[in-house]
Each structure stands twice: as structure tokens, then as C-alpha cells.
Amino acid sequence: MTTSSNTFDIAIEPAFDFLSPEYAELFDGSAATAFQHPLWLHCLYTRLASHAGATPLVVVARHRASGALAMVLPLLRVRRGPIRTVEFADLRVSDYLAPVCSPQVFAELLGDADACAEIRHLVRPFDLLRMTKLPDGRLPIENLLGTPRRVAMDSNAYATVLVAPFEQWRASAMDRSYQKELAKKYRQLQKKGALSFSCCDDSASILDALDVMRKFRGPRFQSQGDGDLLQRPEYYDFYSDVAVRGLGSFVRLYAMKMDGEVIAAVLGLHHRDSYLVIMSAFDIAGYKSQSLGALMFEQVARDCIERGDQMLDFTIGDEPYKKLFGGQPSPMWTVTQTGSAVGAISLFALKQAPWLKLAAKRMSEFRLMPTRSTTTTR
């Protein structure tokens, strides 16, 4: 379905090609995040959407005069129990969500009442429109969709500014006593065998590291109720596909090895001089007192600085270790709008009781469950 304003043509393009040159050009000039990268969204829509019972809802705005892309809003329709939801293309793998558009063009869209009305019409019907994980200071999607004002999420994102050389960053970001503690543990670790740290540089090493990550993460998250995404085939395939296809440009997978065997790994995305951590795993059972995670992130920071990166982004979550590396909190936001009585009731329930939030989460993940498996989280 396509409608038009005087300036923009607005359409739903469910088969939109995120690997197309026109989207790459739009993304490069946009204020979007790494989680709207062409490869990331291509793999999300093609590998995960069908498993979640989700229908692509890709809202596309084009300049009417030239037909060139102006904005892409990568959304999904997902039925969660009796509730019809519209949400960003996330499916529990993305940390930051944003429209793919330049600030200038976004302002032009906001100033075009017809275009805004058309976009709001095309995303309906829904019981609940819910946009979570909105980074601070990004494009105000609530103005575009005509929703109530955004509210803060319970969790923050954390990032540390990197400066060269590594020793200068470490001195400014980390407590002196913590630096000494890690240095001592690193020396202890070196005495256990041939220790190495590297960035995986071929598909074989990437798949080997991911297999080890899956093994380490299973027991670690099993006791938390939701388990771990890597244990599920569709998610393992998603991360493997992104990592292999993004090798050398968009994705970095770091591995620490002892006598040739992976004992720690960190998977992340490289975007605009920032390295964003999305998943990590450590042999906690084999190295209980060595603080493998901290030693690994220290080496990751060193490598990022040597590559010229400006930011090490630990993404969403209030884990204490992030502050130990100089991570500074940044608020995350949620936008919601109800579209029916059942949507209003469900939103009211979510706001009233934490236990109902957990129950709703369990219900919402029901469609994500594989046969004879438990629900999981990243």
C-alpha cells in the first residue's frame, strides 16, 4: 500500500532489500545505530522473524521528486497471545533502536503533516505499539508516530571513551588498585600455560569461538529462568551468519586462548569508531579466581585503542563491571501507544505490577519458543 504527501511517498515494503545499495547509502548518512546496519537487519528479517511468528512491517519514505530513499522504519507485527503488537525489528538481539534517516530529512518529515498522518495510518491496526531501547538524544520517533512522550527504561547503557595510548586510557578510566589487581591476575594466568589473545580473522576461527561461547554460556544462564539465546538453533545461526559475513568490517570476535583452546570470547559490532559489545563468554569453571571477563575486556580495550576506535560501548545493562572500566551511564527510553481496549488493559497491567510484567514477558516469548525447549534471553 502506498500513499503520498506533497514531498514524500510513504509505503509499506515487506520485502525491502536491506542489502541494496540504496539502503547502504541511506544508512551511511543516517543517525541510525549499528543495530540498523544492512547486514544486521537482513539477517534479522530473514533468519529470525519467521521463527517468532512476526510479519515484516517496513515503512519506507521516499523523496517524491526523485524516488530516492528518505527514511526506513524497520518494524514488525507480532501477535503476543491475544495482543497485536507493533514494535521495532529487535527480537531480543538488538540493543539500540532508531529510525534510519538523517536528522535533516527527519525534521522535514516531522514538518510534513500529511506524511506523518500517512505513517501513523500505515502502522495500524495494533493493540499495543511499543518502541523500547531508544538511545538518548536520537531522533524523536514519538513525534513522528504521534505517541505519548517517551519514558525512561529501568536499565541504562554504558560506554567508555577511549584515548591513546592504552596506558593513558587505563590510568584515567580505571581505579589504580583495580589496575594492580588485574595485572597480578594476568601474570598468574600467564603461568598456567601458553596464553594468547587475538581477533578472529577467518570463518573457521569464528565458528570455533562461537561453539565455545555456546558451551560456556549454557550453564551460566540456565539458572536464570530464560536461559541463553545461543542454545537455540535459529539464534545461533543468526549470530554465526552475521559474524562470518561481517568479518573484517562490521563484526569483531575476540578470543583468548590457553594452550590453543578458547577460554574467553567477546562478540561485538564495529560502527563509526565505536566497538559495541553484544555477547561474551568465559570459562568460569576452569578459571574461577582469574577474573577472565575483566582481563578479556582490558585486552579488548587495548586492541580497540590500537585500531583507532574512540568508544568502547558495553550497551544495555547495569552490570557493575562496566563502571570499573570507566563506563558512563546513558538513559534508554520507551515509547508506547495503545490502539484498542485490550491494548490499554495490557499496558495498564504492565505499569502496575512487576510480577505482571514478568508474566507478560513469558507470554510474549511464547511465540519465540522452539519445539520442546525453554524460553531464553541474550
Cα dihedral 139, 335, 279, 38 in deg (nearest 10): -50
pTM here is 0.89
pLDDT of res. 281: 96
Quote the pLDDT of residue 370: 37
pLDDT per residue as tens digits for the range 263-288: 999 999 999 999 999 999 999 999 98
Q: Which 3-state string (H, E, C) describes the chain?
A: CEEECCCEEEEECCCCCCCCHHHHHHHHCCCCCHHHCHHHHHHHHHHHCHHHCEEEEEEEEEECCCCCEEEEEEEEEEEECCEEEEEECCCCCCCCCCCECCHHHHHHHHCCHHHHHHHHHHCCCCCEEEEEEEECCCCCHHHHHCCCCCEEEEEEEEEEECCCCHHHHHHHHCCHHHHHHHHHHHHHHHCCCCEEEEECCCHHHHHHHHHHHHHHHHHHHHCCCCCEHHHCHHHHHHHHHHHHHCECCCEEEEEEEECCEEEEEEEEEEECCEEEEEEEEECCCCCCCCCHHHHHHHHHHHHHHHHCCCEEEEEECCCCHHHHCCCEEEEEEEEEEECCHHHHHHHHHHHHCHHHHHHHHHHHHHHHCCCCCCCCEC
The confidence score (pLDDT) of residue 80 equals 85
Q: What is the pLDDT of residue 9?
A: 96
Q: What is the pLDDT of residue 310?
A: 98
pLDDT at site 32: 97
Domain ranges of the chain: 2-154+332-368, 163-309
pLDDT at 137 (0 to 100)? 86
* Pairwise CA distance, residues 148 & 338, whole Å: 10
- The pLDDT assigned to 218 comes to 84
Please identify every stretch of the chain with a pLDDT value under 70, giving residue numbers as ranges: 1-5, 221-227, 343, 347-378
Residue 25's pLDDT is 98
- Are domains 2-154+332-368 and 163-309 of this chain identical in fold? yes
pLDDT per position as a tens digit, 73-131: 999 999 988 899 999 999 999 999 999 999 999 999 999 999 999 999 999 999 999 99
163-309 has which fold?
A: Aminopeptidase (3.40.630)
Yes or no: domain 2-154+332-368 corresponds to CATH 1.10.3470:
no
